[in-house]
Amino acid sequence: MSRAALALAPLLLAVSAPADAAGSAVPAVPPPAASAPTDALPFDPRSTGTAPCGRGVPAPGHAMPELRPAAGGATLAVRQDGMRLCYVADGVADAPVLRARPGGELVLTLRNEITDPSRIEAAMAPGKLRIANDPVPESPGFYEVQPGMHHAATGATNLHVHGFAVPPVAPQDDVLTVCTDPASGPAGCGRREFTYRWRIPATMPGGLYWYHPHMHGEVQAQMLMGLAGAIVVEGPEHDARARAGIVERVLVVRQTQDQDAGRTPAQSMTAAARAPASAPGAPAVPGNAVDTAHELLCTASSGIDQISLNGTPVPLGDAPDESLARFEIDAGTRQYWQLLNAATDAFLSLSLQDEQGRALPLQVVARDGSPLTDDAGHRLQPAPTIEALPVPPGGRLEFWVAAPPPGVKATLVTHAIDTGCAGDRLPERRLAVVVARGDAPARVTPAPAPAPAPAHAAGVHDAFTGLLARQVDRRRVIALAEYPRPGADDQTDFYIAERRPGAVLRPYMMGDAPAITVRAGTTEEWVIENWTNELHTFHIHQLHFRVLEVDGRREAAPPLLDVVEVPYATATGLHSKEGPVRPGRVRIRMTFPAALAGDIPFHCHLVDHEDNGMMAVLRIEKPGAPPRHAEALPMAAMHHGQ
Ligand SMILES: [Cu+2]
């Protein structure tokens, strides 16, 4: 469930199915694309004065342009056309796939040419707050919950390179202090453009990464309006595939709508206030529990949000094959697909199916840019699987797709997903048709040949190898919570906080001090607890972590990820107004390399949740830095501006 957004990217929305608050059936076939005048135009991504973001919608199966910046760098402009935002490179408004090498420097100048920040603000309406939310009533024994406040859109923008193990320090991946001002509007950043210089470690694996804006409070609006793109780091395995003539495809799923705005129904508002807090004069009881009585309860989820694949709307229901991407694979061969879920809050669960709905095998090679490896960095070569493959928002999946048998029409689908009773509706959707081209050659090429064996552990993350063998220096419990506020349309606040006695839940505000400080070189295990009735995710910048356990089930081969689903809570009874609930849990382990010292954001990658508070900052102390005492202070002492 999101708090406050209804962004309309008109070109893509034109073919989206209408949805109503009651969640009635959505037409099986979307209205014709001609319902918006611009859609009738042939696709022309050239950015011009009258069409800053180009015209038309690309045909299904479109491939985005590639941008391989020279040593001197390239320029990426952010332009605006009404409710659309776009990345423009070389005059083309079609977010390029950036290509770079391990050990290289990727230099990119971001230039902000946003002309009308009020349209970004409009994309965050109508649930926006003009006054702070009502507080959650204080109850003895529970963490204090502070209300959130609307962040007004500024039109400032910046870039986050998701998955890159580069320092969170300008001119690298610093999203907390680097931004660029719009052409008109507030000038809080003091600059219109900024040159990023990301020094990609030689040991960072080749694979799929991505870029998107990270202006806290308006991330969702800017992404829904069009800002997200893929980055491929081309390592030795890419080179080997290229030499072998293997086709690689980059698939980017984006989202262009979030219809939850203003739709938190009255009945999902929480129960009446608890018993009053301690009598005046009584000693304060330090809270050490998450208040579940006031959590967002089950909601009548709103419409189904439009998603796109490589810029083309993904239809709902039994749409004709022509409206889907069609990918051909030479009979008897296979292709290497790199899929990014850049949706703002839509989870994916992928399968390749034949016409009878039987799953065809896919062979996973990498997740979140990390090749599947054991703790020592040795490659794992799992057999092709027919299991559905989850990709949460922010996640990436790289996999081999073998040509279906000749004559078989296969479909890449994302299955319906249960996101919890307060989560969004995610029906099954067909993403692409996949068929064999030609007859199988007389001598069939060896089917899934193992990935070329690196000479040594090349391309494997040195920084995160041996993580499981390390001693754990500290364990923490991190809670996710969300509270609606009675009396208004939809004013849910979102929280992520370390559980400790007397902790205060407070939505993240720009400039907040780090919530957690660690020494470089240490290793920690965190249990992330989801105390809500909807699926969330946990993402941390700069780092990859191993997922050890999900809801008490140990992972046989703990994956190395940078974003993980955190299962929703289960009620011990029905979803009663009094709770209690048993939180969903994941246990992760991560280490904090000195090379990545600085302030590192962690947050839910349902970016509306991040915008509305479910974010915090981890500081990795530089080696030899004087010790700080932030952690010894009560959290309230670190708050400011309240
Ligand atoms: Cu979330």
Query: CB atoms < 10 A from the CB of 201, how many?
Result: 17
Distance 27 CA to ligand 1 centre (A): 29
State the burial class of residue 244 (Cβ atoms within 10 Å of its Cβ: 0-12, 13-18, 19+).
Answer: exposed
Structure tokens of 189?
A: 């950043």
- In this model, does residue 623 exceed pLDDT 90? no
Report residue 10: phi and psi, to 5°. -60, -40
User: What is the overall mean pLDDT for the chain?
Assistant: 84
88 Cα: distance to centroid of ligand 1 (angstroms) = 30
Secondary structure string (H, E, C) spanning 333-368: CEEEEEEEECCCCCCEEEEEECCCCCEECEEEEEEC
**Residue 75 CA, ligand 1 centroid: distance in Å:** 33
Residues 102-135 pLDDT 10s: 999 999 999 999 999 999 988 886 555 666 667 7
**Predicted local confidence at residue 40, as pLDDT:** 65
Cβ of 31: how many Cβ atoms within 10 Å? 13
Q: For the segment 551-607, what is each residue's pLDDT rounded down to a tens digit?
A: 999 999 999 999 999 999 987 655 445 555 789 999 999 999 999 999 999 999 999
* Residues 233-259: tens digit of each pLDDT: 999 999 999 999 999 999 999 999 887
Q: Tell me the percentage of the chain whose pLDDT exceeds 90.
A: 68
CB 9 within 8 A of CB 39: no
Check: CB of residue 71 under 8 Å from CB of residue 105.
yes
537 CA to middle of ligand 1, Å?
6
Gap from CA of 315 to ligand 1 centroid (Å): 25
- Alpha-carbon distance 150 to 132, whole Å? 7
Cα(536) to centroid of ligand 1, in Å? 4
Q: What is the pLDDT of residue 135?
A: 77
Give me ligand 1 centre to Cα 608, in Å: 8
Structure tokens at 604: 């839910």
Ligand 1 centroid to 604 CA: how many Å? 5
**209 C-alpha to ligand 1 centroid (Å):** 21
Element (DSSP H or E) covering residue 584: strand 584-591
What's the gap in Å between 354 CA and the centre of ligand 1? 33
| CA 595 to ligand 1 center in whole angstroms | 29
Task: Report the C-alpha dihedral over residues 522, 498, 527, 538, rounded to 10 degrees.
Answer: -90
Query: Residue 534 Cα, ligand 1 centroid: separation in angstroms?
Result: 8
Q: Which residues of 137-155 are buried (b: 16+ CB within 10 A; e: fewer)?
A: bbbeebbbbbbbbbbebbb
Q: Residue 459 Cα, ligand 1 centroid: separation in angstroms?
A: 32
From residue 85, give the alpha-carbon distance in Å to each of 9, 113, 127, 469.
Answer: 9, 10, 21, 45
- 0.85 surpassed by pTM: yes
Chain-centre distance for alpha carbon 436: 32
Interval between CA 633 and ligand 1 midpoint (Å): 27
* CA dihedral of residues 426, 430, 432, 433 (deg, nearest 10): 160
